[in-house]
Amino acid sequence: MTSPLSAYIVEFALALKTRNAANVMLYLSISNAPGTVYKAEFPVPSQHDLSGIREETWRELITLHIRLCKAIAVTVDLVQAFTLQIEVLNCMNRIALREDNWLLRPLYQTTTELYSLYRLRAASSPEEDTSKDLEKVADTVNKTFKLCLNDRNLVEVRSKKLGVFVFAGRLLKIYIKLNHFELAKSVEKAILSLVTELPTVDDVPKSHSIPYLYYSGLISSYDGDLTAAETKLTRALSFCTSNSTKQLKHILVYLIPIKFLNKRVTPSLHLYARFPELAALYRGIFQAVQTGDLRSFDAAVEGCEQFLLDKSLYLMVEYLREYCLVKLFKRTLLVTGKHQLPVSALQVTLEYSQTHRSRDKDEEFVYSLDRVECLLANLIYKGKVKGYMSHQNRVVVLSKTNAFPLQVVRAST
């Protein structure tokens, strides 16, 4: 009678012979709990057991996988399981060097399950610093990325270059989590250096291109290149299906402030209605920007401060405050009708916008005259206000034509 282990090895050998990626994924997966428990009951295979598998590295992989199942389901040792899954992926990387792209799907499944094991490992020991473990994940996935990037298979449909973007996206995600931005940029440079030899993001499955464009867009935004960030995030958004609500929301969280900073475009009421979480995050902020209400702006930012910090969005959203100031100064100009404004008048305007009350006679200003001048000088320098400061007279002289360029705020569709 054939033992369960023997049957498993025979089926695995058949999957290899027919290059059946779906079955190889099934036999190497640890995501299916009953399957993992079932394989954990196998004895560790001997060389005799594995005689039906011709190549030594595949034999090694099967042995590692069964030991991994035992670590998960028998000893429940997440540290050992994580270490073994690293070995599994390293073994698959060695195998992939001599295989064509039929192995890409099993490779991606293994990287996904490795990252899941890392998260379980980190969650089980919250007091420990597990960043070293995540760096091990990054190092191993980087090998997968490089073997795809440097594949020399001349037959395009069999080239592992088709996997470049899916592994680049996974790698960028990990580097961002580790705050290794230089390493993330090195991934981008590697892709750019071979761009003429690689498929485009249009040539690969959208499930590959969307995460890559998303994380690449984040890297561009962190690097201060908001134009590139908008291009990448907009492209990622266009690849999403209408029912990909979670993906759309993740992209829009970053794209909304970036589009405003680039083009002064605000979210539409339709978008707010479709994504209530985004409305809760941004509606109050943009209402304050459109009315020049500093107190409401600060309150709206404070209400979501932790989220903005967690998403590395805080500084970007703080840049919106300058547009709140510009709107406030523009309203002051419209009320007075004068292009020469005393700094003291703007001081009073700022004070009321910040506190929503009239100042007591003997009360000190929140904004000193020097601070008001500094704010104005900064806005003039950045081109958000056209004019010049007369420090001696404590007056700002505004241009009679378009003193506040590019300040049109309009809703996106």
How much is the average pLDDT of 215-227?
96
Mean pLDDT over all residues of the chain? 92
Task: Work out the pLDDT band at 410, boundaries 50, 70, 90.
Answer: low
Task: Work out the pLDDT band at 285, boundaries 50, 70, 90.
Answer: very high
Task: Work out the pLDDT band at 128, boundaries 50, 70, 90.
Answer: confident
> Cα angle at 162 between 96 and 238, to 5 degrees?
145
Helices (H), 125-264: 131-149, 164-177, 181-193, 206-222, 226-239, 245-263
Domain boundaries, the chain: 286-411
356: left (phi over 0), alpha (psi -120 to 50) or beta: left
Protein fold of 286-411? Arc Repressor Mutant, subunit A (1.10.10)
User: Cα–Cα distance between 336 and 330 in angstroms, integer?
Assistant: 10
Check whether 319 has a pLDDT greater than 50: yes
For 7-32, give one letter per residue: b (16+ CB within 10 A) or e.
Answer: ebbeebbebbeeeebebbbbbbbbee
**pLDDT at site 99:** 94
**pLDDT at site 398:** 86
Check whether 52 has a pLDDT greater than 60: yes
**pLDDT at site 55:** 93
Most confident of 128-137, 349-358, 394-403: 128-137
